[in-house]
């Protein structure tokens, strides 16, 4: 027979209302009572019915993850990170893909929130960067957390994220610092003509990574040449076309390194270089960004910046739950700024003589 909330109450020696308060993670429950009920839940293997919980009162036990990103690996990592926290909190996750370019997107999100009775949202780029969506969420009074490219409190950077009263709703990824570090790695290998293949212009990560690359060149007295910057998108095909354009326009031998805006771009650039009979890394070094499976599926494997997307999204979910009824106590160790770390592999080497 299926274990019921009444069975848990009898086993723990408390009322059903007390069990309900514990399961709903109400912060007013005493720790001794909470532990007693949770022990009964574990011993009886009781599984709360989330749908019934949602229908039983005004509280919602579901949050949403909203994204527009063509990179399947990125999306899966984000889902897994948020979902792991939802399981800990006893919440369901509603996943909502959408098109950031749709002028009616804010209406679609509002409808989804109301239809699914969500307690809050995790927003990924570029949706997290759209002010009309943020304004709409503020009007609805729903909790949300934004994943943004940048760093909290960085007035010295030319691409800083503006200070905001809602900055405590943000998890930042410092793409600028990581791109700077990768570029310095290439410079230290002796490369002086380094090209950059950009991702989608509407993503803040693109401008942050480009700015990091440009700052590294300037700080090491190297020329920032717009002819070495290819404006593309975050795809393998864009990497192929970008590398062909850059290497053709610059007679191949002039460029000794290419930094791709992400691993897909870098993998495409590597593929194009091989079609042009350019040896990697003996004649051309190539680096990516994000440390997705693309970076480990190429030959040689790509130097890249490791971006722990599942960890980042888990902290975003933790931050969201700390702002709702989802947590019995506030998290003390939520990380709000992540800096991707450089992973050096075989695709980069000393500049050719």
Name the CA radius of gyration of the chain, rounded.
Answer: 24
pLDDT tens digits, the chain, 353 residues: what are they? 678 777 888 888 888 778 777 776 666 678 888 888 888 888 888 876 554 444 344 457 889 999 887 678 888 999 999 999 998 888 889 998 888 788 888 788 888 888 888 889 999 998 999 888 888 888 888 899 999 999 875 444 444 444 444 457 899 999 999 999 999 999 999 999 999 999 999 899 999 999 999 999 999 999 999 999 999 999 999 999 999 999 986 554 589 999 999 999 999 999 999 999 999 999 999 999 999 998 999 999 999 999 999 999 999 999 999 887 544 555 668 899 999 999 999 999 999 98
Residue 343 domain flag: no
**Could you give the CA distance from residue 285 to residue 303 in angstroms, rounded to a whole number?**
9
Residue 346 domain flag: no
Asked whether residue 154 falls in the same domain as residue 218, the answer is no
Supply the CATH number for residue 15's domain: 1.10.260.40
Q: In which element (H, E) is residue 286 found?
A: strand 285-287
pLDDT at 111: 85
**Could you give the CA distance from residue 316 to residue 337 in angstroms, rounded to a whole number?**
11
Asked whether residue 169 falls in the same domain as residue 317, the answer is yes
Supply the CATH number for residue 268's domain: 3.40.50.2300
Instruction: Tell me which residue range forms the domain holding 134.
Output: 62-174+308-338
Q: How many domains does the chain have?
A: 3
Asked whether residue 194 falls in the same domain as residue 299, the answer is yes
Asked whether residue 211 falls in the same domain as residue 169, the answer is no
Residue 213 in tokens: 């690359």
pLDDT at 350: 97
Asked whether residue 170 falls in the same domain as residue 315, the answer is yes
Which residues have CB under 8 Å from 351's CB, separation 6+?
189, 190, 191, 192, 256, 257, 285
Asked whether residue 260 falls in the same domain as residue 289, the answer is yes
pLDDT at 32: 84
Residue 73 domain flag: yes
Residue 253 domain flag: yes
pTM over 0.85: no
Residue 211 domain flag: yes
pLDDT at 305: 97
Asked whether residue 34 falls in the same domain as residue 128, the answer is no
**Could you give the CA distance from residue 302 to residue 31 in angstroms, rounded to a whole number?**
50
Asked whether residue 159 falls in the same domain as residue 179, the answer is no
Residue 26 in tokens: 């109400």
**Could you give the CA distance from residue 63 to residue 54 in angstroms, rounded to a whole number?**
12
Residue 115 domain flag: yes
340 and 287 in contact (C-beta within 8 Å)?
Answer: no
Residue 327 domain flag: yes
Pairing of strands 304-306, 341-343: antiparallel
Asked whether residue 185 falls in the same domain as residue 294, the answer is yes
Asked whether residue 148 falls in the same domain as residue 219, the answer is no
pLDDT at 161: 44
What 3-state class would DSSP assign to 121? strand
Asked whether residue 127 falls in the same domain as residue 196, the answer is no
What 3-state class would DSSP assign to 22? helix
Asked whether residue 168 falls in the same domain as residue 182, the answer is no
132 and 155 in contact (C-beta within 8 Å)?
Answer: no
Residue 345 domain flag: no
């Amino acid at each position: 027979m299926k274990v019921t909330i009444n069975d848990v109450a009898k086993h723990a020696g408390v009322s059903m209302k007390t069990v309900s308060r514990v399961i709903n993670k109400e912060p007013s429950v005493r720790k001794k009572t909470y532990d007693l009920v949770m022990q009964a839940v574990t011993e009886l293997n009781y599984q709360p019915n989330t749908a019934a919980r949602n229908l039983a009162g005004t509280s919602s036990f579901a949050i949403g993850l909203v994204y527009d990103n063509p990179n399947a690996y990125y999306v899966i990592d984000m889902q897994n990170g948020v979902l792991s926290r939802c399981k800990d909190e006893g919440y369901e996750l509603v996943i909502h893909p959408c098109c950031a370019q749709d002028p009616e997107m804010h209406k679609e999100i509002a409808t989804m929130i109301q239809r699914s009775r969500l307690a809050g949202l995790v927003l990924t780029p570029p949706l997290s960067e759209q002010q009309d969506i943020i304004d709409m969420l503020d009007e609805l009074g729903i909790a949300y957390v934004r994943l943004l490219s940048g760093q909290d409190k960085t007035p010295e950077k030319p691409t800083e994220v503006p200070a905001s009263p809602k900055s405590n709703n943000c998890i930042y990824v410092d793409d600028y610092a990581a791109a700077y570090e990768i570029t310095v790695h290439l410079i230290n290998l002796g490369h002086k003509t380094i090209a950059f293949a950009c991702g989608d212009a509407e993503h803040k990560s693109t401008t942050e990574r480009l700015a990091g690359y440009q700052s590294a060149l300037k700080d090491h007295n190297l020329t920032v040449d717009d002819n070495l910057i290819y404006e593309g998108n975050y795809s393998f095909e864009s990497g192929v076309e970008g590398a062909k354009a850059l290497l053709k326009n610059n007679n191949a031998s002039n460029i000794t390194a290419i930094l791709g805006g992400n691993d897909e771009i870098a993998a495409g650039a590597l593929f194009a270089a091989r079609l042009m009979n350019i040896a990697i890394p003996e004649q051309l070094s190539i680096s990516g960004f994000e440390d997705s499976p693309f970076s480990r599926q190429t030959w040689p494997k790509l130097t890249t910046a490791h971006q722990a997307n599942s960890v980042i999204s888990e902290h975003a979910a933790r931050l969201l739950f700390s702002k709702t009824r989802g947590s019995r106590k506030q998290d003390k160790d939520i990380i709000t700024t992540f800096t991707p770390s450089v992973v050096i592999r075989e695709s980069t080497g000393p500049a050719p003589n």
